[in-house]
A and B are shown apart, each in its own frame.
Chain A
Amino acid sequence: MQTQTSTTIIVTENLGKSVKTSNGTLHILSGINLQVASGESVAIVGESGSGKSTLISLLAGLDTPTTGTIRLDGKSLTDMDEDGRAAMRNQMIGFVFQSFQLLQGLTALENVMLPLELRGEVNAKQAAVALLGRVGLSERLTHTPRQLSGGEQQRVALARAFVSKPAVLFADEPTGNLDSKTGAKIIELLFELNLENKATLILVTHDQTLADRCQRIIRLDAGRMI
């Protein structure tokens, strides 16, 4: 078993997730023991269905494990209730999804302001405007997601992820819905922002080149780390 260092931000012990199906219990993840140091960038790779997305959803507190524990910044996510996990997400975590997941009824600016507003910060607007400027969307503040291209939407999503200065950023196939050129630009931006923020990055990807840019690669096969 690995030991926890003072800079470790994520620790899992014997993490597992299984669901009951009509053909018995399906083990999506099992026996995951993992330590991620603060500021480290980690790529999670594996075949489709190997449990990548499930793993980051557990690490980010979006879902609850069937077995094992997760500690985030020294606090046990598994002992928290949903509101506790929500508060942790709000304080410490940023997300970038494959399908952007922007709120359709809100403008780009409002989408980016959202995490800060939930945190109750008063200067949400200035921070959001600044970050949208940083991702090159100063001219698009009042546009709704429908009025933006895929690449632009993902840039809004990046701004939203970093606006709250998260300690950990989870990115689930961030370029999966984009063409390679746009995807490459988004990845550049993601790593730049990550560097500026000194955030820990946990990235799920199929793309080996992208995975190679991370400091560490974790491979999953049939729900187990190999």
Chain B
Amino acid sequence: MNLFGLALRLLWRDSRAGELTILFLALLIAVTSSTAITLFSDRLERTMTDQTAEFLAADMVISSHVPIPESWLKKATGMKLDQAQTAEFSSVLIEHDELLLAGIKAVSEQYPLRGFLKTTVSDYSAETIEHQGPPPGFAWVEKRILSALKLNLGDPVTVGEKKLITSKLITYEPDKQGDIYSLSPRVMMNQQDLPETGIIQPGSHVHYFFQFRGEPEQLAEFKRWVKPHLNLAQRILDIHEDRPELGSALNRAERYLGLSSIVIIIISGVAIAMATRRYTERHLDATAILRCLGSKQNDVLGLFIGQFLILGLLTSAIGCALGWFAQEILFTLLRDLLPQTVAKPGMLAVFFGVMTGMTVLMGFALPPLLQLRKVSPVRVLRRDLAPLPASAWLVYGLAFSIVGVLIWRYTEDFNMTVTLFCTGLALLLILGLLAHLILVLTRRSLSNLSLNWRFGLQGLLRDSRATVSQILAFTITLVAMALSFTVRNDLIENWRQQLPEHAPNHFALNIFPDQLSPVQADFKEQGIGGSQFYPVIRGRLTEINGVPVQKIVTKDSQGENATHRELSLTWTKNLPEDNKIVKGSWWPTEKKAEVSVEQKLAESLKINLGDRLLFIVGGQQLTATVSSIRSLRWDTMKPNFYMIFSPGTLESFPGTFITSFYLPENKKNYLNQLVKKFPAITILEVDLILKQFKMILMQLTQAINYLLYFALMAGFTVLFSAIYSTLDNRIYESALLRTFGANRVLLRIMHLIEFTLLGLVSGILAAIISEALLFMLYTRALSMDYQPTYYLWIALPLIGAFAVGITGRWGVRHVVNTPPLTVLRDS
């Protein structure tokens, strides 16, 4: 038998007869959404990575206190990496008898390799984007430099021994470090002018940044090559290591994108399974005839799989094109929010979209199709001979394996995949049983109900296995939609809380103890409230339980970074806001020589409760016992500490105080007054970082909103097609009831009861599963605080009842008007 030719012919006839419409739609949604989301998230991710690279002004940076060897730069050139350099140092500027400690940054011609600078000559509304720093002989300065030194734009400013003309005001600098030691207002100059300043002498405190840009493979290779050559004071910076506050936002966004993809694929998979089931049922007769005419079981199976493959490839091609357009539209919609250069769509993502579509098609469609293999040829004589359904293990096993692989692909975390997967599976099993139990109990109470209710319920009880699987299918769809919606809301809310409108935008440090009260009074006078002042004592961790820390740490770990420099130590009676004790307990009262360690550092240095840590503070040794491990949020723009000591431990050591506070743009002049009044205080302005951060979060929020709409749209479409795929039997039975005289009102009420109950039960089960999965997701995957989502318990049953009720009712509307004979004949 020419199977392929026959498959094509049957496919053509079936599609003309409308037999494939639902399957085609379900598959189209799966492929379109998987292609669109894969393409979109891939492009967005690469765009975001590019953009976050702007925070470093490069793809990779080596920071060093001495110039790095020429051979390294040659190596980088050999690897076709573009290079730029900056040198940062502090210098006191004196103009018009005014003194100001400025942060000087000398940049090379190629700076910035990623991102751009913004300057203005008048006000902030007329900003210009610059792709290069100032030319030799000129300086670009922050506005505060001019006001503090009583200068106007165009006046010269002397850096060391070099006079530079202030030509522009610098308003944005991509790689402005949140580093506590580079906080003074900026003067940017050209690197060529640096020798003439005479500032750089052997032993000067200069921070060099050697920046590189290139292809990921070359960068990775260079990184591998250069790592062993680095000395203790040299570090490689990249976005995930260096800017944890951005890293976590991006990570969450990436995980959300991944979650959305899984959600849409699961929803579509459910629809494909239901549509294929309907397709199979409608092809039992044709199969019996083929079998009767001598087709072997495998021929029949090959014929239908062949049809599905052809259908899958054709639909995938269309879905890919639609997916491509959909993501293009998304990027067009997001044009104003995204950086000007958006990463190109990756062909691999298109390929992955098709592969996902085909895998999902086969994974969800194969088990129902296999049923056709078992059709007995005797069916041509006895139509009621239905083949045994495919083994439940096969049906659910295959679908679940695919979902498992997809979760693993997106989370790349085996433990989490297993946890999510097992939780979902266990819940489905329990709820399947629960749904079954509900049906059994309903059957018992049936005789006491009115005719409408009895007939409506009988619709559900007739084939309880099919009803349970329908309930589970709707439940999965509703769960997927609920997760998408809730996680998105909480993610955005979480970001909003993280950066409230008046988030601190300045740090003040080096406040000496005798200035603490006057500064606090000054803040109060200016209406700056709510700031907490922390003492800071510099100290180095040297031993853990008598073992030198250098022997404990691994190369390039957080622990290593923390141990080869001095840490800011503090002490406080109360646990700072945003800190949480994860192990041990906070000291209740004054208790000497105890220390609370930040969780990640503790993990990196393998510090446990009860360990004795030895610090060198101001040349003296200090031992403290670990009494708690804390988790904290680095992204709050508030002072955070790796080590917090119990009161009474550090008081005898000399220290200063640090605080963070919010100052609106129009009160910026207060900074000058503050610095004048308390010259020792150092002010760190983090407005720019905050602005950048807020912009990125806004973009992510928008992107996530669009994804949510997409997921919800897919969810509802699939819900509708899933209901449609269950209508055949209902239409037939309704026609039969009408033959015996059931009137339209009875049928309508009956259908409404049947579908609404189906949706209601699905909604209630969906609320239970969503709550459990949200708990797992928040605590394990997204590291967010879990709060019970009460609204889901009301919304899901209502949405389920309404959506399924209305759609089902609408789907069978014709049956009450079509002559019953037409339906009975067709059956």
Contact = CB atoms under 8 A, between A and B. Distances in A.
B821 A63 contact: yes
Given A105-B458, A106-B458, A145-B384, A118 B739 contact: no
Contacts of B742: 86, 90, 118
Nearest to A102: B736
Contacts of A93: 741
Contact of B824 (A64, A86, A101, A150): A101
Interface in A136-171: 145-146, 150, 160, 164
Nearest to B740: A115
Given A62-B820, A82-B816, A120-B451, A105 B743 contact: no
B738 interface: yes
A86 B451 contact: no
Interface in A110-132: 114-115, 117-120
Contacts of A120: 451
A104 B462 contact: yes
A159 B745 CA distance: 26
B741 A106 contact: no
Contacts of B463: 104-105
Given A62-B819, A97-B824, A106-B458, A86 B741 contact: yes
Contact of B739 (A62, A104, A105): A62
A221 B741 CA distance: 31
Given A82-B816, A114-B737, A63 B822 contact: yes
A122 B518 CA distance: 92
Contacts of A83: 743-745
Contacts of A82: 738, 744, 816-817
Q: What size tier do the contact residues of chain B reach?
A: 20 to 34
A50 interface: no
A106 B745 CA distance: 22
A20 B774 CA distance: 57
Contacts, number: 76
B733 interface: yes
Contact of A118 (B462, B746, B816, B822): B746
State the main secondary structure of chain A at its contact with B.
Answer: helix
Q: Which of B733, B746, B819 has the most CB of A within 10 A?
A: B819
B744 A117 contact: no
A89 B462 contact: no
A87 interface: yes
B382 interface: yes
A30 to B, nearest CB: 19
Given A105-B462, A106-B458, A145-B384, A86 B743 contact: yes
B740 A103 contact: no
Interface string B448-469: 0001001000100111000000
Q: Which of A57, A104, A105, A117 has the most CB of B within 10 A?
A: A105
Contacts of B743: 83, 86-87
Interface residues of A, number: 33
Interface in A14-50: none
A86 B462 contact: no
A99 interface: yes
A114 B740 contact: yes
Contacts of B383: 99
B821 A90 contact: no
A62 B60 CA distance: 79
A34 B156 CA distance: 115
A95 to B, nearest CB: 6
Interface in B693-751: 733, 736-746
B288 to A, nearest CB: 15
Given A103-B733, A105-B458, A120-B451, A64 B739 contact: no
Contacts of A197: none
A8 interface: no
A104 B462 CA distance: 8
Contacts of A87: 741, 743
B741 A91 contact: yes
Interface string A70-114: 000000000000110011111101010101010111100000001
Contacts of B451: 117-118, 120
B819 A57 contact: yes
A146 B816 CA distance: 27
B384 A146 contact: yes
Contacts of B382: 150
B816 to A, nearest CB: 7
A63 B824 contact: no
A145 B385 CA distance: 11
Contacts of B817: 82
B733 A86 contact: no
Contact of B741 (A118, A145, A150): A118
B821 to A, nearest CB: 4
A62 B741 CA distance: 10
B76 to A, nearest CB: 74
A86 B740 CA distance: 7
Contacts of B461: 105
A118 B737 contact: yes
B736 A103 contact: yes
Contacts of B819: 57, 62-64
A89 B741 contact: yes
A119 B741 contact: yes
B458 A115 contact: no
A106 B443 CA distance: 12
B740 A57 contact: no
Contacts of B458: 105-106
Contacts of A164: 740
Interface in A193-219: none
B740 A89 contact: yes
B654 to A, nearest CB: 86
Contacts of A103: 462, 733, 736
Contacts of A57: 819, 821
Interface in B439-496: 451, 454, 458, 461-463
Contacts of B738: 82, 86, 89
A188 B816 CA distance: 35
A97 B741 CA distance: 16
Given A57-B819, A97-B824, A145-B384, A90 B462 contact: no
B746 A101 contact: no
Contacts of A95: 739-740
B387 to A, nearest CB: 13
Q: Which of B736, B740, B744 has the most CB of A within 10 A?
A: B740
A101 B736 contact: yes
Contacts of A63: 819, 821-822
A93 B739 CA distance: 9
Nearest to A146: B384
Contacts of A106: 458, 462
B284 to A, nearest CB: 14
Contacts of A115: 740-741
Interface in B804-827: 816-817, 819-822, 824
Contacts of A101: 736, 739, 824
Contacts of A89: 738-741
Nearest to B385: A146
A119 B746 CA distance: 11
A91 B740 CA distance: 9
Contacts of B384: 104, 145-146
A50 to B, nearest CB: 16
Interface of A: 53, 57, 62-64, 82-83, 86-91, 93, 95, 97, 99, 101, 103-106, 114-115, 117-120, 145-146, 150, 160, 164
Given A90-B740, A146-B384, 4 more contacts: A62-B821, A83-B745, A91-B741, A103-B733
13 contacts: A62-B820, A64-B819, A86-B741, A87-B743, A90-B740, A95-B739, A97-B824, A101-B824, A103-B462, A115-B741, A145-B384, A146-B386, A150-B382
Closest 8 CB pairs of A and B: A90-B741, A105-B462, A62-B821, A63-B819, A57-B821, A83-B743, A89-B741, A115-B740
Interface of B: 382-384, 386, 451, 454, 458, 461-463, 733, 736-746, 816-817, 819-822, 824
